[in-house]
Structure 1
Amino acid sequence: MSVTADVRTGAAAGRFYPSDQYGFSSLLTENELAVLGRLRKVLDEQVQPLLADYWEAGEFPYQIAQPLFDLNLMEPSQPDGGATASGLYVGFRNFELARTDASVATFYNAQSGLFRTAVNLGGSAEQAAELDPKIRSFEYKGVFALTEPEHGSDIAGGLETSARRDGDTWIINGAKRWIGGAASADVLAVFARDEADQQVKAFLVQTDARGVAISKIHRKTSLRMMQNADIDFRDVTVPESARLQNVNSFADVAAMLRNMRSDVAWIAAGLQAGAYEAAVRYVKQRQQFGKSLGSFQLVQEKLATMLGNVTASLGMVVRLTQQQEQGIYADENSALAKMFCCARMRETVALAREVVGGNGITLDTDVARFHADAEAVYSYEGTHEINALIVGRAITGKGAFR
């Protein structure tokens, strides 16, 4: 694909992302780059202009959903008639979304990453075959409901939501918290502890089922556009046919998380790219002491560090994704990527805020939004500490979670 200059970022001709210094995106096919180009056009023209106002209001611009759905981003058609997206394409799709906005990336990934993974890994072959086409088209919208009000990092042993079997029916009681996109979903992939064997099971629960109560979490300072929810379950009945048949312990949930952490690492890399590119735009047009802010040595040093962080993060997630496509899945590998990329992200958005100065706390430059939203990405899908302990366990052979 012949890549022309990016109007919004001033990217040099021939480079798909101005923040992709080593050209990792050149590993994508022409068709994949074309799909990402169409995504960028929608993001630039229909999404970007809405972000500041909706972020400030703490609401999601649902009018952008259908244009994103219509792009068929999950499994775009291939020139040979196939419909299998590469892992690198999926990663750069998350990167492109997060480069524009972390809430938009999280909203899309709730369906394309979390919910789709829950169904395809947790469901039987029959369940996956039936539901995946509807998930790809967004005909069947779902979210991943694991975290609880009192259990986040300790969810493996602390999960309290219960499921009791009564014939061919399950009765679910409990609560979930921080569930992004729940209010606009059709179904919740709910993880609950089976009262009979104390093992974790998973169920597809309709959002309008009797006994399900969904309420928006207010007063957030990060991912303000993303509509996170508290969910209560009171004697909610679910048929056995709605149980994801391949989830029979928390080990099965951990296999899902192993995949999802790589998605979040890509989002962290994309968020860094967005913050870096916004900072570059600003320092090129801002004048101080009679000359361009970008001409100052200390500013250039910060920009170089930011670009190094983006480049290192991209290198890590690209290699992780290549390994996963070869069938190499290891908890410590995805945990290391999530931990490292999010730590670099935190530094990058802080440096972006610094070089933009006082204007860096306003939404007009985009930097403030990236700076605030990074805090949520830093914590979700496994905190820095939990991921470090997963890596540490692999290094030493000793678990240190307690």
Structure 2
Amino acid sequence: MSTPSRPAAPDPLDFLAVDASLSAEEAAVRDTVREFGRRELLPHVAEWFEAGTLPDPRGLARQFGRLGLLGMHLQGYGCAGASAVCYGLACRELEAVDSGLRSFVSVQGSLAMTAIHRYGSAEQKEEWLPRMAAGEAIGCFALTEPDAGSDPGSMRTRARRDGTDWVLDGAKLWITNGSVADVAVVWARTDEGVRGFVVPTDTPGFTATVIHRKLSLRASVTSALSFDGVRLPEAARLPLAEGLGAPLSCLNEARFGIVWGAAGAARACYEAALAYTASREQFGRPVAAFQLTQRKLADMVVDVNQAALTALHLGRLKDAGACHHQQVSFGKLANVAAARRVAAAARSLHGANGITLDYPVLRHLLNLETVATYEGTEEIHALSIGRAVTGISAFR
């Protein structure tokens, strides 16, 4: 009788062998984006974060376009037509570098491009999507307002008919890429309900102002938008977007990317903590040799691998056409919370060094404060899950 072979010891960097189930195509996407991020982005991102900006967003957009990352889950118009899992892996590897970089890709592809692809006219798609996929045009998605964050239904931005045109008035806030965008997908209240408009940013009356003094998501351009009598032709309206469900469906696409991105940020913080505690010595021993350190590392391993499993499972469901938006809320709530725990523990394990930009952990921890808020706060996602399991809405 032969002796059963003994399973290999777990890989400390993929403890549950989550990536072992990836297809060759999926692994290739992971490796391509990871290598690009480590070669082209990671050496500079701390400097960008400290400066509070992206110095060359158009150059970055073109780089992302050449990699096929912009609108990569969409079909046609120069988009890659990749699977949900491939898109998720790209988001994971980008956010392992910095949340702001994943946000750039997410806003372009999951929000602005998805809105045009899903709800736009043939002319709108042909005009914008190929250029946006190539990174030759940058888009933004204007839904959030100064007094309408978690409750977008209370938006005050209005579009009124004036002959055959529309006239847009109002303001939007916390708009990623707003001041570098060539086109804005703007959501406004009309007499017929909420409608979406494709607005070239050089239209008279459109103003974008960069938001400064951010303490989070600093390697990203965030803007306030204002619309003062912005006149648009009927052709600017997204013809298939009727009601608030249209922008919310786009937000769900972005949330899916966050599920994966948060897993990437968590992994990056865990890897940094593991390497640091193995090399840092105190009391004549590596910090990793102490029981309290190993307990923290063990908790981080659990969070990192559960987040990776959650992301992959939702990706498989999405590729099968079986992922409900409330399941995406589960993933966003769970994975962002896990990433925040991991980042906080990693910061503590780095000691005083953890507060510097020489290490990635506090940068990730600060970024995750924004990730926890945008595309639905943790409270909103908790209530979404609560409604799913009770059948009772607590929103109103």
CA distance in 2: counterparts of 1:31 and 1:294, whole angstroms: 36
Measured after TM superposition, the shift of residue 149 of structure 1 is 0.8
Measured after TM superposition, the shift of residue 126 of structure 1 is 5.6
User: TM-score if structure 1 supplies the norm length?
Assistant: 0.89
Give the superposed CA RMSD.
2.2
What secondary structure does 1:183 align onto? coil
CA distance in 1: counterparts of 2:372 and 2:120, whole angstroms: 29
Do 2:61 and 2:136's aligned partners in 1 also have CA atoms closer than 8 Å? no
- Identity, in percent, stands at 38
The aligned residue for residue 186 of structure 1 is 182
Which stretch shows the higher mean deviation, 122-131 or 37-46?
122-131
Q: Deviations over 1:315-336 (max 9, x none)?
A: 1121112112222242311111
What secondary structure does 1:184 align onto? coil
The aligned residue for residue 146 of structure 2 is 149
What secondary structure does 2:189 align onto? strand
Measured after TM superposition, the shift of residue 64 of structure 1 is 4.1
Which stretch shows the higher mean deviation, 228-237 or 54-63?
54-63
Do 1:95 and 1:269's aligned partners in 2 also have CA atoms closer than 8 Å? yes
Match status 1:259 vs 2:253? yes
Q: Deviations over 1:193-218 (max 9, x none)?
A: 01x22x11001111121101111111
Do 2:61 and 2:138's aligned partners in 1 also have CA atoms closer than 8 Å? no
Where has structure 1 moved over 6 Å in runs of 4 or more?
A: none
CA distance in 1: counterparts of 2:364 and 2:258, whole angstroms: 15
CA distance in 2: counterparts of 1:166 and 1:230, whole angstroms: 26
Gapped regions of structure 1 (runs ≥ 5): 1-11, 77-81
Match status 1:288 vs 2:288? no
User: TM-score if structure 2 supplies the norm length?
Assistant: 0.91
Match status 1:176 vs 2:172? yes
CA distance in 2: counterparts of 1:129 and 1:68, whole angstroms: 20
The aligned residue for residue 296 of structure 2 is 302
Measured after TM superposition, the shift of residue 55 of structure 1 is 0.8
**How many corresponding residue pairs?**
381
User: What aligned pairs does 1:99-110 form with structure 2 within 5 A after superposition?
Assistant: 99-110=96-107
The aligned residue for residue 20 of structure 2 is 26
The aligned residue for residue 4 of structure 1 is none
Measured after TM superposition, the shift of residue 68 of structure 1 is 3.0
What secondary structure does 1:322 align onto? helix
Q: Which amino acid aligns with 1:355?
A: L
Match status 1:337 vs 2:331? yes
Do 2:29 and 2:90's aligned partners in 1 also have CA atoms closer than 8 Å? no
Q: Which amino acid aligns with 1:378?
A: A
CA distance in 2: counterparts of 1:191 and 1:147, whole angstroms: 9
Q: Deviations over 1:235-285 (max 9, x none)?
A: 001111121111110122222222221111111111111111111121122
User: What aligned pairs does 1:310-325 form with structure 2 within 5 A after superposition?
Assistant: 310-325=304-319
The aligned residue for residue 85 of structure 1 is 82
User: What aligned pairs does 1:99-248 form with structure 2 within 5 A after superposition?
Assistant: 99-124=96-121, 127-128=124-125, 131-156=128-153, 158-194=154-190, 196-197=191-192, 199-248=193-242
Measured after TM superposition, the shift of residue 135 of structure 1 is 2.3
CA distance in 1: counterparts of 2:106 and 2:115, whole angstroms: 12
CA distance in 2: counterparts of 1:129 and 1:65, whole angstroms: 19
CA distance in 2: counterparts of 1:37 and 1:168, whole angstroms: 51
Measured after TM superposition, the shift of residue 395 of structure 1 is 1.1
Do 1:46 and 1:64's aligned partners in 2 also have CA atoms closer than 8 Å? no
Do 1:42 and 1:68's aligned partners in 2 also have CA atoms closer than 8 Å? no
CA distance in 1: counterparts of 2:158 and 2:81, whole angstroms: 37
